[in-house]
Structure 1
Amino acid sequence: MFIWLDHSPIRRKWQRQPKSEEQRKAYDFEKYHAKTFTVVKVVDGDTIDIDIPDGNNNHTRIRLWGIDTPETKNPKLGVMYFGPQAADFATELTLRKNVTVYLEKHRTRGYYGRLLAYVQLPDKRFLNKVLLSEGFAYADLRFRHNSYNKYKQLEASARSRKKGLWEKVTRDQLPEWLQRMKPNLRNK
């Protein structure tokens, strides 16, 4: 009698991967939601890496839900106005610090496969909200989420107080999506 037990780590890893979108959301929610991780890299103001493997990567890339910061790494756009400042601010608040990740059940991943999350800082504030209220981010109006209306208010408040990028940003320095969605937006 011959018995072969396949102990291949590749096969086991493959078997654990979710097969449907609903399974993927449930898998992400169980793996990440309300759990604490260390930030190992700040890619730019709205994108960070945490210290837990994701698929074939040694880390998990998180895109902050509901906000958009000026780009620092986009090959088409180059470095946008206030992009480096937003990235530096996010780095100061998160790099090598423990953060807690919160997801929305209806959508856990973005277009590029990044985890969409609200990130709670060690002091219990949420990075998403801090970036908005300090003028380092725009409220992203392209996708609905639980904090959509609150985020619009935070951006409006930062704009009226001329915080961060709102002090000197010009219309042509705004992201294209924001120029399209708010054709009458002016830096007041």
Structure 2
Amino acid sequence: MKVADGDTVTLLVEKKSYRVRLQGIDAPEAQQPFGQAAKKALSEKVFGHRVTVRWDEKDRYGRLLGQIYLGEVWVNQLMVQDGYAWHYTYYSKDSRLARSQQLAREASRGLWAREQAIAPWDWRRGKRPLLEDSLEASRIAQIVYVTPKGEKFHRQDCHHLGTKGKPEALASVRNRGLTP
């Protein structure tokens, strides 16, 4: 079994691999705050365990859209309940997922501990936090996003900003000689 991120795994069944997207949930992207924590959480829940997958359709990328169970435990719901994923309401109206998200949010579990939690579907469209929690707001005049190669930066509203920009203080990137 391989865990790609907080909502996608690859399972090996009789020497054949199956890529499974956990149906009804959406976990933070890898470069998004809490993305690696979500991947780790899913890995800890399923890696090395015998799981059951129930699925009935594929997504546009050819992945099985599935419900993953560890015994009687519904892993999709557990990821939302523990605050490692959102209930993906665009594709799912499951009331159990909705309730799990509500409880996680009220308890400030996982990603809900962040004031600026951004849903993955918004992140994929370029939405970014105004300030990173790890940086002091008083020291930062503005946040920009450094490209993955670390050669340039973009402002949040720049149409060239992709989905993988790393947020940093403008003063810091200018001191390193980076340009927009």
When normalised by structure 1's length, the TM-score is: 0.61
**What secondary structure is seen at the aligned counterpart in 1 of 2:4?**
strand
Using the alignment, how far apart are the partners of 2:40 and 2:119 within structure 1?
19
Using the alignment, how far apart are the partners of 1:169 and 1:113 within structure 2?
35
Q: Could you say which residue in structure 2 is the equivalent of 1:155?
A: 101
1:61/1:131 Cα in 2 relative to 1: closer, same or farther (>3 Å)?
same
Using the alignment, how far apart are the partners of 1:169 and 1:156 within structure 2?
15
Q: Of residues 61, 65, 69 in structure 1, which corresponds to 2:19?
A: 61
CA shift digits 1:27-83 (9 cap, x unpaired)? xxxxxxxxxxxxx10011100011127xxx9410000010000011xxxxxx11111
Q: Of residues 109, 113, 127 in structure 1, which corresponds to 2:75?
A: 127
Q: Of residues 59, 64, 86 in structure 2, which corresponds to 1:138?
A: 86
Q: Of residues 29, 49, 63 in structure 2, which corresponds to 1:71?
A: 29
Using the alignment, how far apart are the partners of 1:169 and 1:41 within structure 2?
31
Is this contact kept in 2: 1:66–1:128, CA < 8 A? yes
Using the alignment, how far apart are the partners of 1:49 and 1:179 within structure 2?
22
Q: How does 1:13-92 map to 2 (within 5 A)?
A: 40-52=1-13, 58-72=16-30, 79-92=31-44
- Hey, which bits of structure 1, 4+ residues long, moved more than 6 A? none
Using the alignment, how far apart are the partners of 2:11 and 2:124 within structure 1?
32
Which one has a larger percent helix, Structure 1 or Structure 2?
Answer: 1
Which one has a larger percent strand, Structure 1 or Structure 2?
Answer: 2
Is this contact kept in 1: 2:8–2:19, CA < 8 A? yes
**What's the CA shift for 1:177?**
4.2
1:178/1:141 Cα in 2 relative to 1: closer, same or farther (>3 Å)?
farther
1:165 aligns with 2:83: no
The letter for the 2-side match of 1:161 is A
**What's the CA shift for 1:179?**
11
Q: Could you say which residue in structure 1 is the equivalent of 2:45?
A: 93
Aligned residues: 125
**What secondary structure is seen at the aligned counterpart in 1 of 2:68?**
strand
1:58/1:103 Cα in 2 relative to 1: closer, same or farther (>3 Å)?
closer
Q: Could you say which residue in structure 1 is the equivalent of 2:157?
A: none
| Backbone CA RMSD of aligned residues | 2.2
Identity across the alignment (%): 30
The letter for the 1-side match of 2:86 is Y
Q: Of residues 64, 79, 85 in structure 2, which corresponds to 1:115?
A: 64
Is this contact kept in 1: 2:32–2:123, CA < 8 A? no
Which ranges in structure 1 are unaligned for 5 or more consecutive residues?
Answer: 1-39, 73-78, 181-188
Using the alignment, how far apart are the partners of 1:69 and 1:58 within structure 2?
26
Which ranges in structure 2 are unaligned for 5 or more consecutive residues?
Answer: 126-180
